[in-house]
Structure 1
Amino acid sequence: MPKYASLLIIVVLLISADLHSQEWNYRNNRIAVSFDGNSAADDAYKWPTGDPDDWGAAVASGAIVAKLGLQDKIVHFSYNNFIDAPAGPDAENELKISCDGLVERWNFDPKVFFDVTLELKPAIQNLAKEIGKSTKEDPLFFIHAGLSEFLYLAVEEVISQGNIEALNHVYLLSHSGFNENEKRREYHHTWNDIQELCGNRINYRKIKDQNNKTAPHDLWHSGKDFSVWYWMRDHKDPNIQWMYKRMQAHSGGDADISDCGMFYYLLVGDDNGTPEKFKAFIGEGIPNSSGL
């Protein structure tokens, strides 16, 4: 290959990579997220219990959004998204407790929050509506914090409404191969199934796994070591203290809020968050807290 042709190819690749990076430069666009975290036992599945890390991660994610004053950018927030799993009674529905609390404490719009086990159809319709309105000028950023079946159903609805081209302007952020690929029922679908369904239209980025429980001071999962998070427990803002209590709710006794690392990456630009960085980010607290 001629020397100048090789140089041209390198330049083109560098420009393409830069443009791709720019496409993911979040600019106060709409955000949707779907967590799992079901607390009711699903006896039809090999692992009956849900994923309790989201009980704290949803709150930490909300704290990141609220600290930046971006609550109005959250247009869809679904949780307990294990399709076909049973609903838990409210008093024991740990993720509902977390989500109801962050709505009340940090002034989120309750109309965009959905417990999928109780509101499956409205949740699908809401996400499909937000996907369907996406354009180049008004993209949707989707945080993939739960299994893929719920998103598959929403994408299916978008396509049935004739809005498939809107999926070109959806940006999905992931950090978990488990969330992408695990199926709680044989007839459920994976992330690859979603891309096949929509002709690979959804823009996709996977950051590194936000768990590193072997190193408490690294990322967002410190194993059984809560000491790196004591700054929350001792914070003067009562809602930050509450965030620590929601982390403590983890049924396995783990200090794990790993899914919030995707919000930290999207909104702060750092996929290597730590307890110390989070402490500095939260600072004196969240100004628009309700003071509960």
Structure 2
Amino acid sequence: MKTKTFTVLLFAFVLTFNINAQTIPFSTGRIVISSDGNEHDHDDWAATPFSLALLAAKGLQDCLTVYTFSDHIWGSNHDHENAQKEMQISALEGQKIFHFNHTNFIEAVADSTKAIQAIVKEIDRSKKEDPLTIIAAGPMQVVGSALAKADQAKLKFVRIISHHSWNDNHADKPNKWEQHSGWTWNEIKSSFESKGLICDRISNQNGGDDYDGMKAPIERFDWIKTSPIREQSAEVKKQLDWLYSRQLTCIKKGDFDPSDAGMIIYLLTGKQKTNPEDAKAIIENPVK
């Protein structure tokens, strides 16, 4: 009997935390994205533009309060010599093209303290009526540092989303030529989940046995070039042309790889097993 009572109380405790934090699909509150792209995998060169396009289609520009990009804060340009510059293009041109006029875009590798503090500020202003969702699309160091510095009483109003083990673990698993350590996904869970933080680890957006993911053959993205919405205005055509041009920066064995943008599809729809057609449905049916 005591065991059953304890189980019920524990469930009620967790449920109380969960109803305070951001819901899926997105309904209210704010969004923070932290991505890398300045070192190692260059998928963020394609994923950042796609993430911005998806949020813009839903009219959520003002909900994205902070975007920290190039958050591999231990260095840039080793695996791809122009990686930091490519991320500046994807993030800062994307900001202008999709009208994220009030979003604070911060290059984390250039000023990690500023990036971390910006996320701390967003966590600290969170409340039941204005929760926060953090999309963790890079190593966990920047986000983990922000969670540690923030008001711990606010974590029950925060959800963090991740999808890939590389991002989850890279801080403590550097390449042979690197030396660094830092926050990992499991450390974030063990440190903050008991305080109400929702740690939402979704399916790998590179695909799986029974779903395609957002890393998919190039032809699956042809709709960006042919969609009827291109005829709506010169601006829409310009946006889609730019979006496609950024996909061309990350081709892997015949695939485009905007995989991290699958987390935005999940945020907007609740669907974890995504594909390029999910992105098409969102972008071709924008909020009026």
In which range does the TM-score fall when normalised by the shorter chain? 0.7 to 0.9
User: Which digits, 9 at most, give the CA deviation of each residue in 1:118-160, with x for residues without a partner?
Assistant: 12222111111111111222211101111011112222332xx
Distance 1:213 1:244, change over 3 A: farther
Stretch moving more, 102-111 or 27-36: 102-111
Report SS of the residue matched to 2:90.
helix
Match of 1:238 in 2: 238
Distance 1:264 1:113, change over 3 A: same
The counterpart of 1:75, out of the listed 62, 65, 78, is 65
User: Which digits, 9 at most, give the CA deviation of each residue in 1:40-74, with x for residues without a partner?
Assistant: xxxxxxxxx42211111111111111001010001
| 1:1-292 map, 5 Å | 20=18, 24-25=22-23, 26-38=26-38, 49-86=39-76, 93-109=85-101, 112-158=104-150, 163-183=151-171, 184=174, 185-198=179-192, 200-201=194-195, 202-212=197-207, 218-222=212-216, 225-235=217-227, 236=230, 237-250=237-250, 252=252, 254-283=255-284
Distance 1:91 1:197, change over 3 A: closer
Provide the identity percentage. Answer: 28
Distance 1:242 1:204, change over 3 A: same
Instruction: Supply the distance in 2 between the matched residues of 1:15 and 1:136 (Cα, whole angstroms).
Output: 16
Contact 2:123 2:132 in 1 (8 A): yes
Distance 1:119 1:112, change over 3 A: same
TM-aligned CA deviation for residue 193 of structure 1: 2.5
Contact 1:63 1:286 in 2 (8 A): no
Contact 2:18 2:198 in 1 (8 A): no
TM-score, length of structure 1 as denominator length: 0.78
Instruction: Supply the distance in 2 between the matched residues of 1:122 and 1:229 (Cα, whole angstroms).
Output: 36
Aligned residue identity for 1:242: W
Contact 1:220 1:261 in 2 (8 A): yes
Aligned residue identity for 1:81: D
Contact 1:103 1:110 in 2 (8 A): no
TM-aligned CA deviation for residue 109 of structure 1: 2.8
Report SS of the residue matched to 1:143.
strand
Report SS of the residue matched to 1:182.
helix
Distance 1:150 1:20, change over 3 A: closer
Report SS of the residue matched to 1:93.
helix
Aligned length: 267
Aligned residue identity for 2:212: D
Tell me, which stretches of 5 or more residues in structure 1 are unaligned?
39-48, 288-292
Tell me, which stretches of 5 or more residues in structure 2 are unaligned?
231-236
Instruction: Supply the distance in 1 between the matched residues of 2:193 and 2:30 (Cα, whole angstroms).
Output: 23
TM-aligned CA deviation for residue 272 of structure 1: 2.5
Contact 1:173 1:206 in 2 (8 A): yes
TM-score, length of structure 2 as denominator length: 0.79
Instruction: Supply the distance in 2 between the matched residues of 1:105 and 1:125 (Cα, whole angstroms).
Output: 26
Distance 1:219 1:27, change over 3 A: same
TM-aligned CA deviation for residue 195 of structure 1: 3.8
Report SS of the residue matched to 1:154.
helix
